[in-house]
Structure 1
Amino acid sequence: MTDPAARGLRADATRNRSQLLEVATRVFASAGAEPSMRAIAREAGVGIATLYRHFPTRESLVDAVYRDQVTRLTDGARELLAQLAPPAALRRWMDLFGTWIATKNGMLDTLLAMIDSGELPHAQTQTALLGAIDAILDAGRATGELRPDVTAEDIAAALIGVFTVAPAPQHAARADRLLNLLMDGLRPR
Structure 2
Amino acid sequence: MAVVVRAGAAPLWWLGVVAAGTGAVPEGLTGRRIGVLAGAALFLVGAAGVALARRGRYTALARGAARAGRYDVLQDRAVTVRAWRRGHRWWLLLGWAAALGSAFFVPAAGGMLLAGLGTGLRLKAVWLGRLERAGQTLLWVRVDWLDRSGGRPAGKAVRGLRGTGIAAGDAAPGGARRRTPALV
TM over 0.5: same fold?
A: no
Using CA pairs below 8 Å that are at least 6 residues apart, which structure has the higher relative contact order?
2
Higher helix share: 1
- After TM superposition, the score normalised by the length of structure 2 is 0.30
Higher strand share: 2
